[in-house]
A = this chain, B = another copy of it.
Amino acid sequence: MIDPAAFARLLCGYCLDAQPGQQVVVRSTTLAAPLLLAVQRELLERGAWPLLRAELPAAAEAWWDAAQDAHVDGFPPAELAEVEATHAALTIQAPENTTALAGVDPARIARAARARSPVREAAMRRRWCGTLWPTPAGAQQAGMGSSEFARFVRRATFLDHDDPAAAWGELRALQAHLIERLAHARELRIEADGTDLRLSVAGRSWVNSDGKRNMPSGEVFTGPVEDSAEGRIRFTVPSSPRGVEVAGIELELSAGRVVAARAERGQEYLLAMLDTDPGARALGEIGIGTNSGIDRPVGAILFDEKIGGTVHLALGRSYPETGGTNASAVHWDMICDLRGGGRLSADGEVIQENGAFRH
């Protein structure tokens, strides 16, 4: 369904631009073996140094099952050393079970995320790309057959185009137009059933997310002014961070901070994440999905936040290149689908309504 060699070319070329002599670490599970081997070959042919890190599917759950406090509150020294010796990292989601960590106490997961900040920050200073290899578990999460899901991933990544990199270039051009309209906007407003939220993006930079760091991508995003968000928002697309299903999230924000939060499912996890650190209650990102190859949520944020016709907000860490300054161990994207009725406007001008961009 997906040609591993073509996928590897897109990832190592378009996404990572791997150069001779560069150290590229490639992380996934053993279920992505066909793609891992193709990426190794592509990197070697480019003269780069591949290091494959294929996790055993059962290892993460087993780690949490035996981890002591010292493990949750620290990180392995060799992991930081590896990141620091690395030029680029490719992370390929390929779960055997998307709910493998659902039984782990969310407060411990939040502690571990905090403790691993040095590794994460070092990794984010390097070139990186995150993608997904279709597995039966991923298909199940999406509610699809395995072949159907593989076709979905193929469309979402533009691997169904003769020249996928060129197709990404076309989307980049469309997004550049959108950013022209947003670049001087001061206030964004999102309206929908249960949602009326205003926030400032004055002076912030918009990022044209063109598939280099996320494959697939298809969004433009920035970091809201930290104390600006006012109002309420209902996120209509369920979210499954680490396999915990969290659905029907409603947040109330005042002076940029979450002051009330509830969820129809997964409320305990939501509240634990909000208490990770002070930055977890502020917004780090607002993004606008543009990928029309992604037509429905599949329970994987890599895809869902890119659905053309949606907007998303992230609690927690902002991306420095946007001008956002919020710091947190959390970065949790939550999606509001406007296709069934809703509107995004900038300084009173409608940008997108009922999922369609207004030109």
Residues of A within 8 A of B (CB): 20-21, 23, 25, 30, 33, 36-37, 40-41, 44-45, 47, 49-56, 58-59, 62-63, 65-68, 70-71, 74, 76-82, 84-86
Contact = CB atoms under 8 A, between A and B. Distances in A.
A8 to B, nearest CB: 11
A38 to B, nearest CB: 9
Contact of A44 (B45, B71, B86): B71
A80 B51 CA distance: 12
B81 A81 contact: yes
Residue of A50, A67, A77 with highest tally of chain B CB at under 10 A:
A77
A53 B56 contact: no
Contacts of A58: 33, 37
B44 A67 contact: yes
Copy tally for this chain in the complex stands at 2
B30 A47 contact: no
Contacts of A82: 78, 81-82, 85
A56 B36 contact: yes
Nearest to A81: B85
A30 B82 CA distance: 21
A83 to B, nearest CB: 8
B76 A80 contact: no
6 contacts: A30-B56, A37-B59, A44-B63, A44-B71, A53-B53, A54-B55
A76 B56 contact: no
A66 B47 CA distance: 10
Contacts of A33: 56, 58
Contacts of A78: 23, 25, 49, 51, 82, 85-86
A54 B54 contact: yes
A62 B54 CA distance: 15
A335 to B, nearest CB: 34
Nearest to A66: B44
Contact of A59 (B20, B40, B71, B81): B40
A60 to B, nearest CB: 10
Contacts of A62: 37, 40-41
Nearest to A43: B66
Contacts of A74: 49
Contact of A84 (B47, B53, B79, B81): B81
Given A49-B76, A81-B84, 18 more contacts: A20-B70, A23-B76, A23-B78, A30-B54, A30-B56, A33-B58, A37-B58, A37-B59, A40-B63, A40-B66, A41-B65, A44-B66, A44-B71, A45-B66, A50-B63, A50-B76, A52-B55, A82-B85
